[in-house]
Structure 1
Amino acid sequence: MTPTNDEAMLVADTVRVSRDLGQDPFLVLHGGGNTSVKLGKRIRVKASGFDLGDLSEEGLVRVDRSALTKLLSQPTLSDTQMVEGYQEALVTPGDPSPTIETLVHHALPFTSVLHSHADAIVALTDTLDGENLVQRALGEEVIYLPYVMPGFDLARQILTAWEARSSERPTVLVLAHHGLFTCGDSPREAYDRHLDMVGRAVSFVKNQTGIDLVQDLPAPTHAPVGGRLDLLSEALTDYATGPCSVVSHRDHEVDAFIARDDFGTISQQGPTTLEHIIRTKRLPMVDGDIGAYIDSYRDYYERCKHRAVGETQMLDPLPRVILDPDLGLVTTGLDQKAARAVQDIYRHTVRIITATEALGGYRTIDEGRAFDIEYWELEQRRLRPAS
């Protein structure tokens, strides 16, 4: 079916605002976030594996909304069943799989829905008093939801919460430890609303703490001390079971974070945004003992593996983030690009945790729920050989 001029314009506008979101690292990092636009009986939604920052029309896959309604009406639905349902709902078989949050986009009754993990929004929710802070910063018209894993349960929770206040026609939802959804009757309206909400959050945090969550991150200010980075890289390579790239970074914010009296506590609570755990692991290494970190990671896996759906394969236990008084922030990955992505994420993490502590105390998802994300059945499926 050939799209009408109005539909073509809506898609083009969605691509444009998607790129604007994705090119701002204080809103989205390394493939995060998703967007959608409804076109009658169909919805076009960002496909998994696509980056908002350089999204094209091909990255907005067509999905049949009647099929999504049937999925959403089920009493229960596993993540695997949901993804299989997404595949069956594709208008063009063989297209990339839609984002895991497609049902959320479908459930919200607006033409355009935009989702990001904005630093300032996450900072408000990663606190002891997150709901109150969100309402003070953004207004009581915003729907605030406690943490739920992405997928069917989150979509049902959002639908229930929206319907309970449908007479107000709410257009903004904040998800604890996750991010922001804004809605609109056009992509531009949803985007302007998104920036307005983030702007309110940024202003609130800055007024309360003096910390600017949209100010550029500082440039490197120190080089690693002596040959310690080389020695650490060699040690990491010895422990690694595959390729291991190592990069390092120091600046005044990282140094101040590591020098904090409560560093040993605040660095060991988990990621600021739930999806970052896939890249960074739950905790950084802070004591310089790679062997002890690996043993601790294995203990964590054994402690929590009963929570997994089906059989699991333990992931590489090597630390992805290392914080050291002399070396600063050291990150690892299968290649330089992966290690740099972890570095980007944790540099934002440092500032967010600093802000949340100034807002009353940093709190994020607990160990068990972090494991649920890290060992998500959908992530584990990628590790299994094709049958």
Structure 2
Amino acid sequence: MGAVQDLIARSNRLGADKRNTNFAGGNTSAKGTETDPVTGEPVELLWVKGSGGDLGTLTEAGLAVLRLDRMRAMVGTYPGVDAEDAMVGRFDYCLHGRGGAAPSIDTAMHGLVDAAHVDHLHPDSGIAFATAADGPALTKECFGDRVVWVDWRRPGFQLGLDIAAIKAANPQAIGCILGGHGITAWGDTSEACEANSLEIIRGCEAFIAERGKADPFGKRIAEPLPEQARAERAAALAPVIRGLASHDKRQVGHFTDDAVVLDFLASERMPELAALGTSCPDHFLRTKVRPMVLDLPPTAPLADTIARLQELHTAYREDYAAYYQRFASADSPAMRGADPAIVLVPGVGMFSFGPDKKTARVAGEFYVNAINVMRGAEAISTYAPIDEAEKFRIEYWDLEEAKLQRLPAPKPLAGRIALVTGAAGGIGKATAERLAAEGACVVIADLDLAKAQATAAEIGNADTAVGIACNVTDEADVTAAINAAALAFGGVDLIVNNAGLSLSKPLLETTAADWDLQHDVMAKGSFLVSREAARLMVAQRMGGDIVYIASKNSVFAGPNNIAYSATKADQAHQVRLLAAELGEHGIRVNGINPDGVVRGSGIFAGGWGAERAAVYGVKEEKLGEYYAGRTLLKKEVLPSSVADAVYALVGPDLGLTTGVHLPVDSGNPQGFLR
């Protein structure tokens, strides 16, 4: 298994450096001999990265394993380019053993080229040569006869035959540049193949650096806003743009204002180059045929900018529909969403979108790749991507459609963005965990930043959860939290007002400071969070959910609890008021009245448990048991019980429910709503 281990190590090294290939871009392979377990005879095999994997994180499970004798036999039965799709299906009949990844469209390139090791990569510098108007001449000038030019051909069996023939006709060559696409290199050993790949990539880089124009995008015509102003503008625009990009299907957003992006957006040639679109299939499949570009300066009034974005979005959708109609045939897949995947805002940055955060982020990374490609091609020549007809053939390729159809069904909250306050522990943490498990992106907001970040890290990586500090009693902090959600994921769809605390005292011992503290955190805090979230949701035009974690005490007149119970009653009425006010915007507002949530509760651990135990005359460690014993169902209420109720309210089954309070108390008649 040395060949496999060498292949994985080589793939991981190449994929770890973004100069070599984009995320999930390209594929690598190795050929070798093993003993056939059926015949006991040696059999030649091909190990090749399967469809959809990423080189940087490739493992053996991500390899497709095929018999070379059966794959080579396909050459004699190949009916021509009109049967490319059928040829991919035949790879399944060449598989060796059980398991492994599905063979990709590039498998023929690896199997038919007469070399023990083959790399097909998408380096920005290599694609710059591949998309240069005089790419063949530049390739010759840069590499002599060590690297051969191959005219654009859609990936498939014929391309594999072409490259195999070119390798046979050019024994001195170490690889080739594929017009409009990328590079392919080969070698007799894994080390030689990797060295040849890097020679091509670094050769292209050096040629562009030494020979390229200093200002391939032309002069700078608009400087970006200062960092803080840029972030504020981006946060204000993110939900608006996300709402536009979600016209056909709910999307999650990603924002970047990297120097590469800002430099491109500041250049005079940006609109012209952006209109040409991307070229490498990996790029435009994720970024769409071209981005939507705002044509106003970043200092334009916000209202004017929003109005212009709406106009541009309408025009973009019409243009995309026309693109589809120009090239679609009777048997083409139905038109997919016509919304942009990339939106460029000069002076501010780039917004990218996808059905989940990872897809949105990767789409943005691919457009950064495309910017690098355009810069390189324009530095040494003229950027000349493949034409739209070819782009359409790949975007609406039956094989691409089949890949999309094989994707697992999205989780119920996929594409939803949740912000939970007081989420570093107890009910808040359990709620954030449940929402993330159901597919939502979650923002963990808590007074303690370290705990918020630790909770987010427990839930997942930054594509799933982020932790932020937020004092819900402070208007500026609340605004910053909502802005952080907008910059992290594109907006907010779901708010859980959970932040809280409690002091259990009789009336005569309750101070004004006790009263103010509890009302500031829960009544004022949930008001501020709801107000700023509603402001964003209205701008986003995608509806939303606001859930208040109130309490049984919002309706129950219990002893020694005036401040806490009064503020919970305040929260309960906020639910009714906001449900009535926000319904016209599709925003639902509901409440949950838990009771007796002792285990894992920050409130109870902070002294509230001891105080309530004293009121009821039980030991503190028996308080949960005491609460359960007084219920109708005789079961303890856990933080996860409340989280389940939140999901029930915001999930797919109660879409017409607003203004309700849902008891989660194991059946407590004192908390019955009347």
Identify the residue that residue 198 of structure 1 maps to in structure 2. Answer: 201
Q: 1:244 aligns with which of 231, 239, 251?
A: 251
Of 7, 15, 20, the match for 1:14 = 7
Deviations 1:320-352 (A, max 9, x none): 111112432111111221111111111222222
Change (3 A) 1:385 1:191: closer
Structure 1 Cα separation of the partners of residues 264 and 351 of structure 2: 14
Q: Which amino acid aligns with 1:299?
A: A
Call closer, same or farther: CA 1:64–1:342 in 2, change over 3 Å: same
**Please, which of 260, 264, 280 is the counterpart of residue 267 of structure 2?**
260
SS at match of 2:103: coil
**Which residues in structure 2 correspond to 1:333-372 (within 5 Å)?**
333-372=354-393
The residue aligned with 2:581 is none
Residue 236 of structure 1 contacts residue 318 of structure 1 at CA under 8 Å; is this kept in 2?
no
Deviation at 1:259, TM superposition (A): 2.8
Within 5 Å, give how 1:287-302 maps onto structure 2.
287=294, 288=309, 289-302=312-325
Task: Give the superposition deviation at 1:76.
Answer: 2.0
287, 290, 297: which one aligns with 1:280: 287
Q: Is the 8 A contact 1:108 1:159 kept in 2?
A: yes
Measured after TM superposition, the shift of residue 10 of structure 1 is 1.6
- Tell me the amino acid that sits aligned with residue 331 of structure 1: S
Q: Deviations over 1:80-110 (max 9, x none)?
A: 3122211111012453211211111111111
1:135 aligns with 2:140: yes
Give the 3 Å change call, closer, same or farther, for CA 135–67 of structure 1 in structure 2: same
Instruction: Tell me if structure 2 keeps the 8 A contact 1:322–1:329.
Output: yes
Q: Could you tell me how far 1:264 is from its partner in structure 2?
A: 2.1
Determine if contact 1:281/1:319 at 8 Å carries over to the other structure.
yes
Aligned to 2:97: 92
Q: Superposed, which structure 2 residues align to 1:59-98 within 5 Å?
A: 59-73=62-76, 74-76=78-80, 78-98=83-103
- Letter of the 1:71 counterpart: M
After superposition, the C-alpha distances for 1:52-102 in whole angstroms (9 at most, x for unaligned) are 111112222220111111222323262331222111110124532112111
1:140-187 Cα offsets, whole Å, 9 max, x none, are 23221011010012112222323333xx35331110121111111111
**1:155-170 maps to which residues of 2 (within 5 A)?**
155-165=160-170, 168-170=171-173
Please, which moves more after superposition, 31-40 or 353-362? 353-362
1:125 and 1:48 map into 2 onto residues whose CA distance is 23
Amino acid at match of 2:255: S
Change (3 A) 1:99 1:235: closer
Equivalent residue in structure 1 for 2:327, among 297, 304, 309: 304
Q: What displacement does 1:242 show? A: 2.3
TM-score between both structures, scaled by the size of structure 2: 0.52
Q: Which amino acid aligns with 1:24?
A: D
Whichever residue aligns with residue 403 of structure 2, its letter is R
- CA-atom RMSD, angstroms? 2.3
| Contact 1:119/1:352 (<8 A) preserved | yes
Distance 1:327 1:158, change over 3 A: same
Matches within 5 A, 1:180-195: 180-195=183-198
Cα distance in 2, alignment partners of residues 226 and 247 from structure 1: 15
> Contact 1:270/1:365 (CA < 8 Å) preserved in 2?
no
**234-243 or 87-96, larger mean C-alpha shift:** 234-243
- Mean Cα displacement is larger for which, 220-229 or 356-365? 220-229
CA contact (8 A) 1:47 1:97 kept: yes
Deviation at 1:277, TM superposition (A): 1.1
Paired position in structure 2 for 1:328: 349
Q: Which moved more, 1:23-32 or 1:68-77?
A: 68-77
CA contact (8 A) 1:79 1:377 kept: no
Specify the alignment match of 2:180 in structure 1. 177
- Match of residue 111 from structure 1: 116
1:110 aligned partner, one-letter code? A
User: Distance in 2 between the 1:295 and 1:36 partners?
Assistant: 42
In the TM superposition, what is the alpha-carbon distance from 1:240 to its structure 2 partner? 2.3
Residue 150 of structure 1: which of 150, 155, 170 is its match? 155
Is the Cα contact below 8 Å between 1:125 and 1:133 reproduced in 2?
no
Separation of aligned partners in 2, 1:206 and 1:19:
27
2:174–2:187: 8 Å Cα contact kept in structure 1? yes
Offset at residue 356 of structure 1 (A) = 1.6
Q: Is the Cα contact below 8 Å between 1:272 and 1:352 reproduced in 2?
A: no
How far, CA to CA, are the matches of 1:373 and 1:269 in structure 2?
17
Matched to 2:73, the amino acid is K
Q: Distance in 2 between matches of 1:315 and 1:30?
A: 23
Change (3 A) 1:292 1:106: same
- Output the CA distance in 2 between the equivalents of 1:13 and 1:139: 30
CA shift in 2, pair 1:241/1:230, >3 Å: farther
Counterpart Cα distance in 1 of 2:353 and 2:236: 13
Alignment correspondent of 1:214: none
Deviation at 1:363, TM superposition (A): 0.7
Amino acid at match of 2:286: R
Give the % identical residues.
27
Q: Which consecutive residues of structure 2, in runs of 5 or more, have no partner in the other structure?
A: 34-43, 215-224, 295-308, 408-674
Residues 302 and 105 of structure 1, relative CA distance in 2, 3 Å threshold: same
TM-score when normalising by structure 1: 0.88
Shift of residue 236, structure 1, vs aligned partner? 3.6
Answer yes or no: is the 8 Å Cα contact 1:127–1:356 preserved in 2. Answer: yes
Secondary structure class of the residue paired with 1:267: helix
CA spacing shift, 1:95–1:385, aligned 2, 3 Å = closer
What corresponds to 1:125 in structure 2?
A: 130
Structure 1 residue aligned with 2:26: 33
